[in-house]
A and B are shown apart, each in its own frame.
Chain A
Amino acid sequence: QVELVESGGGVVQPGRSLRLSCAASGFTFNIYDMHWVRQAPGKGLEWVAVISNDGSNKNFADSVKGRFTISRDNSKNTVYLQMNSLRAEDTALYYCAKSYTGSYDAFDYWGQGTLVTVSS
């Protein structure tokens, strides 16, 4: 069965960096685009970033553009989110999610999330 397991969250000071990982299993990882979505405490869902199946195309929400990068290692079935210059407003539960059929599609599986808290 499909499983997505996020890790790397924690408490970090404003201006510092953090790298999240999402380990995938149960499907052919290198076929699918992968996404990061976040949810601030008590708030709704905010899409953060997408990376294409081969890593050649990436897009970001305006709120993180220039500060966050996304990458993947298809040999390890893992997608990463590098978060730099963190701000208090980046505090959220970060989910990774799998594209349903490849690209330009809904998200059919989500991980349980990893919590990032930006605080001094």
Chain B
Amino acid sequence: DIVMTQSPDSLAVSLGERATINCKSSQSVLYSSNNKNYLAWYQQRPGQSPKLLIYWASLRKSGVPDRFSGSGSGTDFTLTISSLQAEDVAVYYCQQYFSGLSYTFGQGTKLEI
């Protein structure tokens, strides 16, 4: 199985400042035939279900604020929140969907103010 490892496990950032979360996969999730990275980011606010933020490593789902951005390719990926808002307090997960046999998540990164 592809193992997803996030860093850091927790992060405290001031309002209006940048937050950066990293995700590393144990093998590449870049599919060469279509040049797509099979990598998504989710936000889970306290007491809520997860919500999709980013898919194909860098595409924002409709309705997601543009302060959220995703980058990276192959095995190394980053979720960046450009200017932290209070409502961004949550746990963030990366996920690979490269392997149709399993869809593994990272362990999560807890973001606090």
Give the interface of A toward B (CB within 8 A).
35, 37, 44-47, 50, 59, 61-62, 95, 100, 103-113
Contacts and interface: CB of A to CB of B under 8 A. Distances in A.
Contacts, number: 59
B49 A95 contact: yes
B18 interface: no
B77 interface: no
7 smallest A-B Cβ distances: which pairs?
A: A106-B40, A106-B55, A110-B49, A47-B103, A44-B108, A45-B105, A108-B52
Determine which residue in B51, B91, B100, B108 has the highest number of CB atoms from chain A within 10 A of its CB, and name it. Answer: B100
5 contacts: A45-B105, A50-B100, A59-B100, A100-B52, A110-B49
Contacts of A47: 95, 102-105
Given A45-B95, A47-B104, A113-B49, 15 more contacts: A35-B103, A44-B91, A45-B50, A47-B102, A47-B105, A59-B102, A95-B49, A103-B100, A104-B97, A106-B52, A106-B55, A106-B95, A107-B40, A107-B103, A111-B49
SS class of chain B's interface: helix, strand, loop or mixed?
loop
Interface of B: 1, 38, 40, 42, 44, 49-52, 55, 61, 91, 93, 95, 97, 100-108
Contacts of A105: 55, 97
B40 A44 contact: no
A67 B97 CA distance: 23
Contacts of B100: 50, 59, 103-104
Contact of A44 (B51, B55, B61, B93): B93
A64 to B, nearest CB: 11
